[in-house]
Amino acid sequence: MKGTPNESTTYGTSLSLGKGLPSVYVGVSDVEAAKVPWGKVEFNPARVVDPQGWQLAPVDTVRSTVLDAVAKALDVCDPAVLDVDEMRVQRLDVARDFSTEHSEFYVRGLAPVHRPWARRNLVHFDPGRKGAQTLMVGSGAGVVRLYDKAAETEGKAPAGTLRWEAECRAEWVSKYGDIKTVADVNAERVAELARNRWEWSAMGTDVGAMERVVERAQRSGLSQRELLSFLGYVTLLANGSGQVAHRNTASKYRKISKDLGVSIAELEDGSAQFMGRLDWESGSEYLHAC
């Protein structure tokens, strides 16, 4: 915005916290109209606590890592606020890991669930997470992701590790966690923020195996007539109706199901008739019959 009162100059650099430790990003924006520069220190506390790993940082370790990060930032800037506890929290990510044998089932099956005010709702192979299949919902104030952590870490995390992660910007952090400064970052408030965003994200909703079939079929490119016919076929199979189509038609549907990654054998023997949900308290899945 050169030549206007909002003209700004931005500086940024990454500084290493030490050998084997992650970098800290330090950024400063000098806005002409504001008269006072604005700066930030951004880093991942989890990689400071566990540099070569994948696990999360316990809340009680965050303040000490922030102190280290800010001390490093002092090499290149001189902040007006020297007391770390008074520095504003502009972003705080909270996460929970779940153990499941059905990662894709939840990533795909939870996509159609309604979330109020969610402007983004998509399932994709996230390049920022090494291609891990990811469900992302949210808006400019923050996003929630559900993704295969084993795939994202290329096997460092145990197989079946599904990570729920909320990237909370200032509005979410303040409104749902009552966190404004570093001094406010404690276990109770972080837990309140995480639980609120978990409930909003609706990722503890029951998902049925047939919902997975419907979701995949809707994305398949089938015509409306083919879609209705195929879904009618698999619904009858799943409810034990036996031979429900001529063998030529059944052969066609078997090919479609194979292309969609849907097991006709599961549908025929009824094993697809279960519901599953992610349980926040235990960090595991809960399966039950329909």
Tell me, yes or no, whether 100 and 196 share the same domain.
yes
| pLDDT tens digits for range 117-136 | 888 888 888 888 877 889 99
Tell me, yes or no, whether 121 and 78 share the same domain.
no
Tell me, yes or no, whether 75 and 134 share the same domain.
no
The residue from 205, 221, 244 where one domain ends is 205
Say what the pLDDT of residue 80 is: 85
The residue from 205, 238, 266 where one domain ends is 205
Q: Which helix (H) or strand (E) holds 125?
A: strand 120-126
Tell me, yes or no, whether 197 and 92 share the same domain.
yes
The residue from 180, 205, 230 where one domain ends is 205
Q: Which helix (H) or strand (E) holds 204?
A: none
Structural domain boundaries, residue 156: 88-205
Mean pLDDT of the chain: 86
Tell me, yes or no, whether 96 and 166 share the same domain.
yes
Q: Could you tell me what percent of the chain has a pLDDT over 90?
A: 53
208 against 156, higher pLDDT: 156
Q: Could you tell me what percent of the chain has a pLDDT over 70?
A: 89
| pLDDT tens digits for range 172-183 | 999 999 999 999
pTM: 0.78
Instruction: Provide DSSP, 241-263.
Output: ----S-HHHHHHHHHHHHHHT--
CB contact set of 124 (below 8 Å; sequence gap of 6+): 133, 134, 136
| pLDDT tens digits for range 66-122 | 999 999 999 998 888 889 999 999 999 999 999 998 888 889 888 878 888 888 888
CATH number at residue 100: 3.30.310
Q: Which H, E and C letters describe 45-96, residue by residue?
A: HHHHHCCCCCCCCCHHHHHHHHHHHHHHHCCCCCCCCCCHHHCECCEEEEEE
**Cβ count near 144 (within 10 Å):** 25
Q: Which helix (H) or strand (E) holds 114?
A: none
Is 192:177 a contact under the CB 8 Å cutoff? yes
- Radius of gyration from C-alpha coordinates of the chain: 24
Query: For residue 205, what are its two tokens?
Result: 């909703």
Say what the pLDDT of residue 265 is: 54
Tell me, yes or no, whether 73 and 140 share the same domain.
no
**Cβ count near 73 (within 10 Å):** 23
The bridge status of strand 38-42 relative to strand 23-31 is antiparallel
Residue 278: band (very low, low, confident or very high) from pLDDT cuts 50, 70, 90: very high
Long-range contacts of 65-73 (CB under 8 A, 24+ apart): 66/41, 66/182, 68/17, 69/17, 69/24, 69/41, 69/43, 70/41, 72/15, 72/17, 72/24, 72/26, 73/15, 73/24, 73/26, 73/41
Q: With a cut of 90, say whether residue 17 has pLDDT above it.
A: yes
Q: With a cut of 80, say whether residue 50 has pLDDT above it.
A: yes
| pLDDT tens digits for range 91-100 | 999 999 999 9
Please give the tally of structural domains in the chain.
3
Tell me, yes or no, whether 103 and 151 share the same domain.
yes
Q: Which helix (H) or strand (E) holds 32?
A: none
Tell me, yes or no, whether 64 and 108 share the same domain.
no
Tell me, yes or no, whether 93 and 189 share the same domain.
yes
Tell me, yes or no, whether 65 and 137 share the same domain.
no
Residue 166: band (very low, low, confident or very high) from pLDDT cuts 50, 70, 90: very high
Is 203:164 a contact under the CB 8 Å cutoff? yes
Say what the pLDDT of residue 276 is: 82
Tell me, yes or no, whether 147 and 225 share the same domain.
no
Phi and psi angles of residue 204, each rounded to the nearest 5 degrees, phi first: -100, 10
| pLDDT tens digits for range 239-269 | 655 566 777 877 887 777 777 666 555 555 5
Tell me, yes or no, whether 93 and 167 share the same domain.
yes
